Amino acid sequence: MSDDTYPVADLQAQLADGQPAFLIDVRDADAFAGGHVKGAVNRPIDTLDPAAIAKEAAAFYGAAGGPVLTLCGGGTRAGKAAVLLRDAGVNAQSVAGGTKSCRAAGMDVVEGA
C-alpha cells in the first residue's frame, strides 16, 4: 500500500467505530447511481474543483480535520482525482480498489442516486 491509498479495511473499521469519513465518488452521475458507498457524495472527476472540495471537507470534519477519500469503480479514476486534489494542497487519498473492493468487503453500497 502506498501513502496515497487508503485501505478498505481501515475505512470499514473507521465507519464501524462511528468515525466520520468524507467520501467523494468521482464517477459520472449514471455510474454513481448504479451503486456507491453509503455516505459518498458525487463529484465527477471531469468537474472536480479542489477549492470547493477543500471547503466541503473542512465543513464536514470541522476543527478535527481529516482526509478527502476518493472512490470510483475500481480505483483508477479515484487515484487520479486524489493526485489532482493533493497537487492543489488538499489532504486526499484514494480508497484502494474503489467501490468494487468496498462491496466485496461487505460495506453498505447504495443502489440509485
- The one-digit pLDDT tens for each residue of the chain (113 residues) are 456 899 999 999 999 999 999 999 999 999 999 999 999 999 999 999 999 999 999 999 998 889 999 999 998 999 999 999 999 999 999 999 999 999 999 998 988 76
Cell readout for 18 is 462511528
The predicted model scores a pTM of: 0.92
CATH of the domain spanning 5-69+76-110: 3.40.250.10
Counting beta carbons within 10 angstroms of the beta carbon of residue 47, is it exposed (0 to 12), middle (13 to 18) or buried (19 or more)?
exposed
- Strand 41-42 and strand 22-25: the pairing is parallel
